[in-house]
């Protein structure tokens, strides 16, 4: 049982540590929201999506999918396109502290300039800006002042997209975690292996949110967020190259 737990825990930890788009999104939510509960929709949704993928992978879906003709090649092509696009977007994004001047603030945060431009296209633009101004004035000086915090619904939809529509994450879960579960024929050991993988996702996303909140309150938050965005973009581009080698 202990071996199954350690196997699943270390395997899942190795897969989730790299700075992918899912991690950057959760991290940015921690930066953008002053209160912890504000980023919970994104954290819980991402963790639930990982729980679903891990459960399906261990349940045998991985073997069925990879036996389908052309499925693996299609998944790899989709993964390359997804990673290249998200790498470019993440590289071009600006930290929350600079977003008001230069536009895109990365996955999970929206500059007030972007928000105002979007609201200008709506019939109720004036009232929307008045409400946003009132909400912003109540925010503490410790929180980023030039970002519009995403609503729970928007957080949930984006978290689902970067979790369930990310071919690279699907390949990691189905191809690695699902394949690893084949080593366990005993039901109790397989359940232990599965639960340990799931626990890693839940703990990791909560820790990312807390780390993002701490960075958002730091005087060096802008520099740290820029460095993390750039490292994440480079890792995603490198992952796309590794996927291309499998074609």
Reduced to 3 states, what is the DSSP secondary structure of residue 153?
A: helix
Query: pLDDT tens string for the chain (247 positions)?
Result: 889 999 999 989 888 887 778 888 898 888 887 777 888 999 999 999 999 999 988 887 656 666 666 666 777 787 778 778 878 877 877 665 444 444 444 555 654 444 444 444 444 444 444 444 443 333 334 444 444 567 889 899 999 988 888 777 787 787 788 878 878 888 899 999 999 999 999 999 999 999 888 887 776 667 777 787 788 788 778 877 877 776 6
The answer to whether the CB of 193 falls within 8 A of the CB of 180 is: yes
Instruction: Give the pLDDT of residue 181.
Output: 85
Count of helix runs (H) and strand runs (E) in the chain: 13, 2
Per-residue pLDDT tens over the stretch 5-58: 999 999 898 888 877 788 888 988 888 877 778 889 999 999 999 999 999 888
CA atoms of 160 and 48, how far apart (whole Å)? 9
Alpha helices in 141-220 (DSSP H): 152-164, 167-171, 178-180, 187-217
DSSP class per residue in 75-128: HHHHHHHHHHHHHHHHHH---GGGHHHHS---TTEEEHHHHHHHHHTSTTHHHH
CA-to-CA separations, 139 to 12, 134, 143, 217, in angstroms, rounded:
37, 9, 7, 13
Q: How many CB atoms lie within 10 A of CB 74?
A: 12
Neighbour-count burial for 111-127, b at 16+ CB within 10 Å, e otherwise: bbbbbeeebeeeeeeee
Span between the terminal Cα atoms of the chain, in Å? 37
- Write the burial class of residue 68 (CB in 10 Å: 0-12 exposed, 13-18 middle, 19+ buried): exposed
Q: How far is CA 161 from the centre of its chain?
A: 9
Cβ(25)–Cβ(205) below 8 Å:
no
Percentage, residues of the chain above pLDDT 70: 70
Domain ranges of the chain: 2-244
147-149 and 109-111 as β-strands: parallel, antiparallel, unpaired?
antiparallel
The CA-based diameter of the chain, rounded to the nearest angstrom, is 63
Contact of 60 with 208, CB cutoff 8 Å: no
């Amino acid at each position: 049982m202990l071996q199954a737990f350690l196997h699943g825990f270390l395997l899942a930890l190795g897969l989730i540590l790299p700075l992918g788009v899912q991690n950057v999104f959760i991290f940015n939510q921690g930066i953008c929201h002053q209160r912890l509960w504000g980023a919970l929709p994104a954290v819980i949704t991402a963790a639930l999506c990982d729980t679903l993928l891990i459960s399906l992978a261990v349940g045998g879906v991985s073997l069925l999918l990879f036996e389908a003709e052309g499925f693996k090649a299609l998944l790899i092509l989709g993964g390359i396109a997804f990673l290249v696009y998200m790498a470019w977007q993440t590289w071009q994004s600006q930290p929350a502290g600079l977003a008001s001047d230069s536009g895109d603030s990365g996955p999970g945060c929206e500059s007030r300039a972007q928000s105002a431009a979007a609201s200008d296209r709506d019939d109720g633009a004036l009232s929307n800006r008045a409400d946003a101004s009132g909400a912003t004035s109540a925010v503490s000086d410790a929180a980023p002042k030039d970002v519009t915090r995403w609503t729970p619904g928007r957080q949930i939809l984006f978290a689902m997209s970067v979790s369930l529509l990310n071919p690279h994450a699907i390949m990691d879960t189905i191809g690695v975690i699902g394949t690893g579960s084949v080593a366990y024929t005993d039901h109790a050991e397989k359940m232990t292996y599965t639960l340990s993988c799931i626990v890693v996702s839940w703990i990791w996303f909560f820790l990312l949110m807390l780390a993002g909140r701490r960075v958002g309150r730091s005087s060096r938050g802008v520099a740290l967020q820029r460095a993390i965005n750039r490292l994440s973009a480079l890792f995603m581009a490198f992952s796309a190259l590794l996927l291309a080698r499998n074609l």
